[in-house]
A and B are shown apart, each in its own frame.
Chain A
């Protein structure tokens, strides 16, 4: 089953994609790694430079890139999180 979620881009990822946000439609039980790969496909040759230094956030909780299936719901907010530099 497909779900529509919003993806927020921050810092370097926003510069690479030229976007602050976009909506995507993906299977609801996709893994975080598959979701990342989907985003890479949407922005060819742009996001891949971040691949080893990025995590996602789903519903404001961090999710590393991995095989574990997420359980996406319509309207969920996903964020691309490059390495942090607060403080």
Chain B
């Protein structure tokens, strides 16, 4: 939370996410920019058709890691005003959003850079896991290449 009342909003929910609501929540009169990232679920992986995704989280730690990311964002980009990070859990149908990040700032460079930093760091540090369920074949727990303890050699691609 910033000293001047800037808010960190963090939500883990099984409800459908709304980019509009996130965008509205970070707007403020003193900000000329609101940047948004929407991560959606793809319908294919290595030629296999993905029919569903399921997300699981170590929720209390996921929230605390997201708070750390907000703190780091405010240290690196002090002009950032509001941050809203929403991650969906449970079953997420194809093409629906699994994560929405909204960040506002007076000028656009800071919010754009902060959003990139936010999603990159989330993928490396927040204890959330995604399972892809395919039309045929075994489901697969995915591994982000950003995660330091993923086996990059065995399982290329991701995200």
Contact = CB atoms under 8 A, between A and B. Distances in A.
Interface string B142-159: 111011011100000011
B144 A86 contact: yes
B87 A86 contact: yes
B127 interface: yes
Contacts of A53: 143, 149-151
B151 A52 contact: yes
A10 B58 contact: yes
A57 to B, nearest CB: 6
Contacts of A86: 55, 57, 62, 87, 99, 122-123, 126-130, 144
Nearest to B128: A86
A74 to B, nearest CB: 19
On chain A, which size bracket covers the interface? 10 to 19
B39 A82 contact: no
Contacts of A82: 129, 141, 143
B119 interface: yes
Contacts of B119: 87
Interface string B55-92: 11110111010000000000000000000000100000
A57 B61 contact: yes
Nearest to B119: A87
Interface in A27-54: 52-54
A79 B127 CA distance: 10
A83 B119 CA distance: 16
